[in-house]
Amino acid sequence: MSTNVLRTADGWWVVRGDRALPVETKAVTTAELLADRAAVREAAASREPGTPVADLVALAPVTTPCRVVAQMVNYRSHARDSGFTGDIPPAFFRKASGSVSGPGEAVVRPAHVQFLDYEIELGLVMGAPLPVGTVVEERNLPSYVAGLVIINDVSAREVQLTRTQFYESKSYPTFTPTGPYLALLEPEDFSRLLDLRLKLSVNGELRQDRTLADMIVRPAQALTLLSRFQTLDPGDLLLTGTPGGTALKAPPKAVEKIGALLPPAVKWKAFFKSQAKNPHYLHAGDVITATIATPDGRIDLGEQRTPVTDANRHPR
């Protein structure tokens, strides 16, 4: 069964129900913790009463700097929302690890961003080096992936679309809320990955709700494709795509065809004028809640609850 690990300013903790037990380790980074699994197992076996989880302030369980790589359009429902038809070639992009933030830290909308969007994603945390040319199969996936985390791939849509800037649009500080838990998996847990259900709500309204069965390119294949050109190391992070239900959706086909005839500046001005009527984009005061778990709770990554604020309202 998976073991949930929490990180705070005081160090690492193993979560057991509503209590947490400190991990006696010198590990500071996620990679160092993964190299000291014996300490994690010792904490998990402890009979001490522990500390209430509610009394702890969780930090991102993935420490930075690290590589943060993401898959693009990797759920069938998201592909439909995005207007894709037919086969979708696998694609990856990078995010700055400086965008990684804690599971309760506010998402800060930059002053120039109007169309702020959410994307719940399952994050794979690497537990072993992935050299270029590695072939990963389902049977040896546990040799490379140590654990799972909840990720919100926050996106500034006007930056992403008008400038074709995935890196910038998804890399502002606080644009990668991570955690609360790093779920360290046992080999037998990997057979349950497709049962994981991703749910994201904004102010209590359910926006995204799919299992990994909706995924197009699954983790083993994704790592094989990525390793054609990218090395990964322990503690690095792969975001595996988001299901349908984001605020951004492709316009109807007829409108899209008309837009294709317009100069880019005119097309995007018209598109975002229509998007201004969409109430699903994030605003200051919103609260995003995200969970990922199997129905039986065998794997449960906890609940990520992040408020949204504007840059000029962000406390200094």
Residue by residue, DSSP assigns 97-157 as GGGEE-TTSPEEEPTT---EE--EEEEEEE-S-B-TT----GGGGGGTEEEEEEEE--EEH
- Joined tokens for residue 64: 């930075």
Residue 5 pLDDT grade (very low, low, confident, very high; cuts 50, 70, 90):
very high
Instruction: Output the pLDDT for position 313.
Output: 63
Nearest alpha carbon to residue 29 among 4, 64, 3, 76:
64
Instruction: Output the pLDDT for position 262.
Output: 57
Instruction: Output the pLDDT for position 28.
Output: 98
Nearest alpha carbon to residue 94 among 10, 153, 35:
153
Nearest alpha carbon to residue 152 among 313, 287, 299, 16:
287
Over residues 29-61, the pLDDT tens digits come to 999 999 999 999 999 999 999 999 999 999 999
- Joined tokens for residue 24: 């006696």
Q: Is the pLDDT of residue 257 over 90?
A: no
Instruction: Output the pLDDT for position 78.
Output: 95
Nearest alpha carbon to residue 90 among 228, 249, 201:
228
Across the strands, what pairs with 292?
198
Q: Is the pLDDT of residue 307 over 50?
A: yes
The mean of the pLDDT values for the chain is: 93
Give the residue-averaged pLDDT of 224-242: 98
Which range (116-120, 251-255, 280-284, 309-313) has the least confidence?
251-255
Instruction: Output the pLDDT for position 269.
Output: 79
Instruction: Output the pLDDT for position 108.
Output: 98
Give the total residue count for the chain.
316
Q: Give 63's contacts (C-beta < 8 A, 6+ positions apart).
A: 7, 28, 29, 30, 31, 235
Q: Give 222's contacts (C-beta < 8 A, 6+ positions apart).
A: 71, 74, 90, 238, 240
Q: Is the pLDDT of residue 315 over 50?
A: no
Measured CA to CA, the distance from residue 40 to residue 65 in angstroms comes to 22
Over residues 131-160, the pLDDT tens digits come to 999 999 999 999 999 999 999 999 999 999
Instruction: Output the pLDDT for position 165.
Output: 84
pTM, two decimals, is 0.94
Task: Identify the three-state secondary structure at position 242.
Answer: coil
Nearest alpha carbon to residue 158 among 286, 304, 278:
278
**DSSP-derived pairing of the beta strands 237-239 and 51-52:** unpaired
Q: Is the pLDDT of residue 221 over 60?
A: yes
Given its phi and psi angles, is residue 98 left (phi above 0), alpha (psi -120 to 50 degrees) or beta? alpha
Measured CA to CA, the distance from residue 43 to residue 15 in angstroms comes to 9
- Joined tokens for residue 266: 């005119």
CB atoms near residue 228 (< 10 Å): 9
Residue 316 pLDDT grade (very low, low, confident, very high; cuts 50, 70, 90):
very low
Give the residue-averaged pLDDT of 225-250: 96
Instruction: Output the pLDDT for position 254.
Output: 46
Residue 120 pLDDT grade (very low, low, confident, very high; cuts 50, 70, 90):
very high
